[in-house]
Homo-oligomer: A and B are copies of this chain.
């Protein structure tokens, strides 16, 4: 089914996402399909308008596409089974649930009364297993059971869900087959509680009202390891979700399971209300509503939508690829891209001699088993550094496998005496909690929010380790300024006579972006940092360096300069400096040359960083 682009002539100002066009095409094409019949075994269900047709697709970044009657409510019916199974697993523990209900396909229709060799339901997707699930929750929560279920379904959907009382009543009045199943379960001690109460919860659970949009979001939550992609809430644990998808895969389509995995390859569940949900892990959730059912009780048009989605885009849960090498976006040592602290010659020498002892690895995307394994092999393939900095600011999720492997890798590095520094992880974020959980016992792990701060800290460790010192209290003379290199004593003396010594407190703003640039500064002691209005730190400077020197080229300050600690500086007003220029043209040319040299050096660093980030 190739979309026809009837849209070429439309006067749009913006493009339309192709998935939306695809869903529209499905709606148009399958609306012509009028085979099948509305369910009539529950009288109230037979009243549904057979013309309704809505499709919704929710992506894992939280976008929801909707076409047709995607907001028309209908009852959830058997589509409640996977969600209630997941709830039972998390509420009662896997051991309890798994000891009462099997996970093998039965090969029978959904309403089979047959139990397995242990007299337990074959799996939670047939009515017997679903009733047993509801029974376990009822046993634990008593009268609050249904409310727990309704609220859990609502968390999957991202909104409060109601019950269709008419369908509930109708279902309850005609549910003798389910009554038979429930009594059989009690005979076999699978249900211990009041059968009528359990069935009441079960009938209500089946009568919960949803829309195609709700179903898409619920399916997307299954596809997203239990995190509702619209609300961001972790609705269930990844364990409960993966096991729920497992039983949907092996038993969700009853006696058609093998064919469904083979042909469609998307875990799915249908309900006799006319809904179908399909959850493709790590990709999308689909919900459709069209009440005409085939002989198996599945929505005719809904099945066609699933088939079209799978075949048109060649989607299949087992047709997946990934490349762990994507996880590393940059891998370099501090010689290739140092921190923005401008270092003095003695520090620079030490850092150059030991540049490969601090390795920086910038990561992106999901920290999966494959990604972390690849990173650990990259680390092992080269001589061991003293410090490894992992920048995680582009990491969007960490799998449990990835987190465990991270912990094991850090443990290994600790044993080898390597310090691990993390940057870019927001405190108390999900990633931070996950990593903390796994690395809490390790003494060799530090973290900084900014990568630049992490690199600066690592550089300091290297400087200290190799006998250097960083003395913030030393005072320097004008003659030590690189910007004034090459000036003779007379020139320096004349320039010094124009200077005023300024004293700043820690945190004081010395220069403000936007102000007139009317003086130059030579930092005499302490440290300052240069920051853009958006908060990006351009440089950290210590005694002996100039700042505000761009006043030689520009008339307005482009950045703030703040004192990092008590600091002193020589300030030269620009109007005085103009006189100095006239009197000392050679000195002035020399200063301009030095300025060009400083800018050329900074350009080399900036270009090196661009190359590191673009040559992956």
Contacts and interface: CB of A to CB of B under 8 A. Distances in A.
Interface of A: 3, 5, 7-8, 12-19, 21-22, 59-61, 63, 102-105, 107, 123, 224-225, 238-239, 241-243, 245-247, 249-251, 255, 257-259, 261-262, 265, 267, 281-284, 312-326, 329, 364-366, 368-370, 372-374, 376-377, 379-384, 393-394, 396-397, 399-401, 404-405, 408-409, 411-413, 415-416, 418, 451, 536, 538, 550, 552-554, 581, 585-586, 588-589, 592-593, 595-597, 599-600, 602-603, 606-607, 609-611, 613-614, 616
A508 B13 CA distance: 47
Contacts of A3: 408, 411
A61 to B, nearest CB: 5
A257 B250 CA distance: 8
A243 B318 CA distance: 8
A236 to B, nearest CB: 12
A324 B610 contact: no
B384 A103 contact: no
A401 B321 CA distance: 12
Nearest to A589: B589
B238 A373 contact: no
A59 B324 contact: yes
Nearest to A2: B408
Given A17-B380, A321-B399, A596 B262 contact: no
A224 B606 contact: no
Contact of A259 (B104, B324, B329): B104
A243, A312, A321, A603 — most chain B CB neighbours (10 Å): A321
Nearest 10 Cβ contacts at the A-B interface: A592-B592, A585-B585, A18-B408, A104-B258, A606-B606, A8-B415, A242-B319, A313-B401, A599-B599, A282-B322
Nearest to A402: B313
Contacts of A317: 281, 317-318
A90 B451 CA distance: 50
Q: How many copies does the complex hold?
A: 2
Given A17-B376, A613-B614, A282 B225 contact: no
A553 B412 contact: no
Contact of A585 (B19, B247, B283, B586): B586
B326 A364 contact: yes
20 contacts: A15-B413, A17-B373, A18-B405, A61-B374, A123-B258, A241-B319, A246-B261, A246-B316, A247-B262, A283-B368, A284-B369, A321-B399, A323-B397, A329-B364, A451-B614, A592-B593, A592-B595, A592-B596, A599-B600, A602-B603
Contact of A103 (B258, B313, B413): B258
B321 A282 contact: yes
A461 to B, nearest CB: 19
B18 A412 contact: yes
A14 B323 contact: no
Most buried by B among A3, A123, A613: A613
A321 B380 contact: no
A284 B412 CA distance: 22
Contact of A313 (B59, B369, B379): B369
Given A60-B321, A553-B596, 15 more contacts: A13-B384, A14-B384, A15-B384, A15-B409, A59-B374, A105-B105, A224-B321, A238-B319, A243-B262, A249-B261, A321-B366, A323-B365, A394-B616, A588-B589, A599-B600
Contacts of A249: 249, 261, 318
Nearest to A614: B613
B600 A606 contact: no
A614 B588 CA distance: 37
Contacts of A384: 13-15
Contacts of A59: 324, 370, 373-374
Contact of A13 (B250, B383, B405): B383
Contacts of A609: 610
A546 B476 CA distance: 38
A369 B283 contact: yes
B383 A325 contact: no
Given A595-B596, A603-B602, A258 B250 contact: yes
Nearest to A327: B365
A140 B526 CA distance: 84
A313 to B, nearest CB: 4
Contact of A370 (B14, B103, B283, B602): B283
A389 to B, nearest CB: 14
Contacts of A103: 258-259, 261-262
Given A61-B374, A589-B589, A613-B614, A242 B107 contact: no
A239 B251 CA distance: 23
A416 B16 CA distance: 10
A323 B326 CA distance: 13
Contacts of A610: 606, 609-610, 613
